[in-house]
Amino acid sequence: MPNTQFLEVAGKKTQLIVHGDGPPLVYLHSAAGEAEWGTFHERLSKKFRLYVPAHPGFSLSAGLDQIRNMDDLAWHYVDLFEQLGLSNVPIVGMSLGGWIACELLMRRPQLGSKLVLSASAGLHVPGSPIAELFVDSFDRLRPLLFLDPRLPAADELLPSSQEDPRVLLWLRAREATARVGWNPYLHNPRLIDHLRRITCPTLVIWGAQDAVIPVAHGECFAKHLPHARLEIIPQCGHMLQYEKPDAWHAAIERFVLGS
Amino acid sequence: MEFFAFHLMPWDRLPADFDEKYESAWTWLPNSLYDPQHGVELYNRYLDELVLAEDLGFDGVCVNEHHQNAYGTMPSPNLMGAILARQTKRVKIAVVGNALPFYNPPTRVAEEFAMIDVISGGRLIAGLVVGGGPEYYSFTINPTFAREMYHEALDLVVRAWTEPGPFEHYGEHWKLKYVNPWPRPLQQPHPPIWIPGAGSKETIDFVAARRYSYMGIPYFHIDFFRKNFEAFRQACEQHGYKASPRQLGWLCPIYVAETDEQAWAEYESHLMYFAHSLLKGLVVLPPGYTSPRSIANINKALNLFLSQVKTRADVEKGAYAIVGSPATVRDKLLEYIPSLGVGNLLGLFQLGTLPADLTRKNMTLFAQEVMPQLRQAIPAFPPIAAVPVPTYQRA
């Protein structure tokens, strides 16, 4: 198990795990808060030196009081990248993390060498609403997040009940997500007009049966990003790396390590 | 001791397949189920029941605010307060309350409450509330800012009532160049402020510090109220004064009939409709509405909530509702009121599907055969200790 470190980023205590040998790769996690080391992090770290920061308010990162909206969160990552000396590096953003990656790169395009948008939030697509994620019941969340809600890997991500000791971290994650994503709901209405600023090669990767953020969002990203292509993984829901890990890892390795 | 008749103005006609078909009576329950034609009858009947409370000698009436739901069809309690200001002459009108983050700018609350206070000749009790969890979904207001918005708005409303305008308000959520509401309230320095709470330490401490009044959020087991009211009294001690029972209110469903058996026979199905249908979806805790730890604690306390009761024995054991003959209701209230230490009893005499005739009979029996004896038995309470320096005024 790799070490967890804590940085002060402009006064915000920030949890960070860095692990693996190889070229750097930054992973920006989703609303589910997968910032603790898990199966897919381990697998990514076999090929990359993986950076996994926890957003303010997630895991043991503090500082949510200094995050009023997505703008503040994007600048937090400008600060974090600078502090870590990261620039011109590949970034994988999952769902909420994909939205953060877009907000970061539209402000500082040079920070990203390549971008992977994995079932990314951030857009409003008329006729294809993002599902209601702020529900109390884990039994209702599972079929939203996974095509197969009985998938054993789902237990790694989600608490099983209100008695699960992970519930407090889950509630923190929900609050930190709502802070930036309650209204407008998990998107920035202005983002679409700024996507042209993100000029690095981009892989948009989506589960064909994503019940949270419909594939139409992936198509919209691919259409408006200057150098993007869309890859759809069949028989897969929202949490791609849990549901179809082989396809997800292979696509990322091909895209990031290929020339 | 003051007796209030509280009305939720519920929707009493949910479809027979409601339980199977709908997950909630809130937020997402399709408004095609609302029948305006039936609403004509319902609103007017419910208002008549509150006017009746004055005729029967109650000290006050209570209305409250809820949105997009079948539990309480009063999105604007101020409209009801305005009607009651004209249709009654004596009772206090407790609007408990206005959900401050939903008023933009919140000085609207200062204005509308002042209007009701002036029209009624100074009979308003001003409830200032955060708004229910489901309503943050209904209005897409960010619940992670709920507490901040609430506190900013509350200070602004009180300041608008007490400080000569115009003045500038430069807050986190509202920036107003000219705060100068007309009219000003008749009651000075401002109408009494009631604030509801479900036991959070922060709310109890805040209400105690300001010397406002604390109303227990209803439908919990009596032990839950007992604990919270005791915490309130302790908080007042810590702020250097002794709490008056006038600062505490207990909202409780009450049903009186000729005998215990008759009361239960007439009431039980209506209470269960309320508990199992209308309460379904009420306790929704959106992210950041309160701290993660408080949310986890409330989720755990839900086994002490009325929606969980199954039988008459459950109801009686937790005093979720006081039901019985005049003698039974009297005896129970004579036990509970002093033990809770409350000076305001907020009786819910109509709930769920309880029809007009039974509601009127219930209120009449209570007013004639319970209330006078309770007034006699319970001694008068001291006034609320004066605030040495108005703490609501900023330095």
Q: Which residues contact B236 (CB under 8 A, 6 or more apart)?
A: B208, B242, B243, B247
Q: What is the pLDDT of residues B66-124, one digit of tens each?
A: 999 999 999 999 999 999 999 999 999 999 999 999 999 999 999 999 999 999 999 99
Q: Are strands A4-9 and A12-19 parallel, antiparallel or unpaired?
A: antiparallel
DSSP characters over A14-28: EEEEEE-SSSEEEEE
Per the prediction, chain B carries an average pLDDT of 94
pLDDT at residue B188, as a whole number: 96
Radius of gyration over every alpha carbon of chain A, rounded to an integer in angstroms: 17
Residue B140 DSSP one-character state: T
Q: From the CA of B188, how many Å to the nearest CA of chain A?
A: 37
Q: How many domains, in total, are found in chain A?
A: 1
At residue B105, the 3 state secondary structure works out as: coil
pLDDT at residue B144, as a whole number: 97
Q: What is the pLDDT of residues A15-54, one digit of tens each?
A: 999 999 999 999 999 999 999 999 999 999 999 999 999 9
Alpha-carbon gap, residue B55 to B51, rounded angstroms: 7
Q: From the CA of A52, how many Å to the nearest CA of chain B?
A: 24
Q: For residue B395, what pLDDT band results from cuts at 50, 70 and 90?
A: very low
Q: From the CA of A177, how many Å to the nearest CA of chain B?
A: 8
**Burial classification of residue B170, based on how many CB atoms lie within 10 Å of its CB (0-12 exposed, 13-18 middle, 19 or more buried):** exposed
Alpha-carbon gap, residue B14 to B292, rounded angstroms: 34
Alpha-carbon gap, residue B95 to B98, rounded angstroms: 7
Q: For residue B387, what pLDDT band results from cuts at 50, 70 and 90?
A: low
Q: What is the pLDDT of residues A209-252, one digit of tens each?
A: 999 999 999 999 999 999 999 999 999 999 999 999 999 999 99
User: Which residue has 């330095």 as its token pair?
Assistant: B395
Q: Do B287 and A162 touch (CB under 8 A)?
A: no
Q: From the CA of B25, how many Å to the nearest CA of chain A?
A: 15
Q: Which residues contact B36 (CB under 8 A, 6 or more apart)?
A: none
Whether the per-residue pLDDT at A63 is higher than 90: the answer is: yes
Amino acid identity of A118? Answer: S
Tell me, yes or no, if A168 comes closer than 8 A to chain B by beta carbon: yes
Q: Do B299 and A182 touch (CB under 8 A)?
A: no
pLDDT at residue B389, as a whole number: 52
Contact A58, A80 (CB under 8 A): no
Whether the per-residue pLDDT at B180 is higher than 50: the answer is: yes
Model ipTM value:
0.93
For residue A214, the domain's CATH number is 3.40.50.1820
Alpha-carbon gap, residue B392 to B376, rounded angstroms: 36
Whether the per-residue pLDDT at A161 is higher than 60: the answer is: yes
Q: What is the pLDDT of residues B319-355, one digit of tens each?
A: 999 999 999 999 999 999 999 999 999 999 999 999 9
Residue B175 DSSP one-character state: E
Q: Are strands A12-19 and A49-53 parallel, antiparallel or unpaired?
A: antiparallel
pLDDT at residue B383, as a whole number: 83
**Ramachandran angles phi, psi of B346, nearest 5°:** -105, 95
Tell me, yes or no, if B134 comes closer than 8 A to chain A by beta carbon: no
At residue B197, the 3 state secondary structure works out as: strand
Q: Which of A65, A136, A140, A170 to mutate to test the interface with B (most CBs of B within 10 A)?
A: A136
Which structural domain range is residue A52 located in? 4-257
Q: What is the pLDDT of residues B156-176, one digit of tens each?
A: 999 999 999 999 999 999 999
A169-178, B238-247, B298-307: lowest mean pLDDT where? Answer: B298-307
pLDDT at residue B394, as a whole number: 46
pTM: 0.94
Contact B251, B348 (CB under 8 A): yes
Contact A20, A49 (CB under 8 A): yes
**Chain A positions in Cβ-Cβ contact with residue B286 (cut-off 8 Å):** 134, 178
Counting residues of chain B whose pLDDT is more than 70, the rounded percentage is 98
Between residues 138 and 177 of chain B, which touch chain A (CB distance below 8 Å)?
A: 140-144
Alpha-carbon gap, residue A142 to A4, rounded angstroms: 28
Q: Which of B27, B102, B144 to mutate to test the interface with A (most CBs of A within 10 A)?
A: B144
